Structures are given as structure tokens and as C-alpha cells.
């Protein structure tokens, strides 16, 4: 069965990006250096079994131009605590947004050093850990 296994981002300053993603909570699990000075850095959250992000540093390819990609979404258990922790770490998450009231979906936006947008998500109690077809069901089309 097909499965998305990793998202790779080109980064302009590998050390700066490592610091940013480390502050976000990722652990580095390996690197792949290349003879031309390029390097891959593979990351995962401590609770994840496998890698989920790859930082791709290819200085010879010129500047990183963010475009076409919209955002990465990351689920968190307590968004208010996460925003507080990231702010204390020197990152700049956006304000907490309550999309369906206090007990509904909560989000905050963050931008990494190269301009990639990250959506931090706290699901409502009882919601599955991700989007499913049920999130798109309409009263007139319950199977959507």
C-alpha cells in the first residue's frame, strides 16, 4: 500500500535550519554527506517510529526559492503550551486561532528560516490524529 514517508525541504543555511527544527521538537537521526558539499539531514519527532522530514542542503544549486509548496501541518497535544515553548526558544509562532470555539480545532502558524510555512494543529478531543473523509462529510452527502 502506498504511503508518504518523508518530506524534503531545500534549506539555505543548514545550521540555522537544524536549530529551528530542533526547537520545534525534531530529533536528528542521520545525515548523508556528498562530495560536492551537499548534505541531507533526516529528522523525526521522538514519538515517531520513522523519519518524517529531510533537510536538503545543496549550496551549489544557488538560493532557495520557496514557491509552489504551501505548508506542513504538525499535530500537537497542547497548542497553547507549544506556542509558549516555541516563543521561549526564540521562534515566532503566530497567535492561537480557535476555529470552532474553545473546544474545537486550534491552530497557529510558524515560518521556518527559509520561509516554509508550518501549521501547528491541536485537534478537538476525540478527533482522529489527522484528516479523514468524515471531516468532509456534509448532511446532504454523508459519504463524502
CB atoms within 10 A of CB 69: 11
Whether residue 132 lies inside any domain: the answer is no
Q: Which backbone phi and psi does 21 adopt, to 5 degrees?
A: -70, -30
What would the pLDDT profile of 111-136 be if each residue is shown by its tens digit? 999 999 999 999 999 888 778 778 78
What does the alpha-carbon distance between residue 101 and residue 89 come to, in Å, rounded to a whole number? 28
Residue-range definition of the domain harbouring residue 38 = 1-62
CATH code (residue 75): 3.10.180.10
Q: How many residues does the chain have?
A: 144
Residue 39: what are its φ and ψ, rounded to 5°?
-155, 145
In a domain, 7, yes or no: yes
- Tell me which of 23, 45, 62 is where a domain ends: 62
What pLDDT is attached to residue 1? 65
Give me the torsion for CA of 93, 99, 102, 107, rounded to 10°: -20
Model pTM? 0.81
72 shares a domain with 55: no
pLDDT in tens, 79-105: 999 999 999 999 999 999 998 788 888
Domain count of the fold of the chain: 2
Amino acid at each position: 500500500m502506498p504511503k508518504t514517508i518523508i518530506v524534503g525541504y531545500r534549506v539555505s543555511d543548514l545550521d540555522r535550519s537544524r536549530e529551528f527544527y530542533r526547537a520545534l521538537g525534531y530529533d536528528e537521526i542521520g545525515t548523508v554527506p556528498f562530495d560536492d558539499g551537499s548534505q541531507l539531514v533526516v529528522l523525526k519527532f521522538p514519538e515517531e517510529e520513522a523519519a518524517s522530514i529531510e533537510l536538503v542542503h545543496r549550496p551549489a544549486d544557488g538560493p532557495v526559492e520557496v514557491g509552489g509548496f504551501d505548508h506542513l501541518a504538525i499535530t500537537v497535544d497542547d497548542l497553547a503550551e507549544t506556542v509558549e515553548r516555541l516563543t521561549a526558544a526564540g521562534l515566532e509562532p503566530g497567535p492561537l486561532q480557535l476555529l470552532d470555539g474553545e473546544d474545537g480545532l486550534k491552530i497557529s502558524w510558524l515560518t521556518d528560516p527559509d520561509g516554509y510555512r508550518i501549521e501547528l494543529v491541536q485537534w478537538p478531543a476525540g478527533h482522529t490524529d489527522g484528516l479523514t473523509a468524515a471531516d468532509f462529510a456534509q448532511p446532504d452527502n454523508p459519504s463524502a
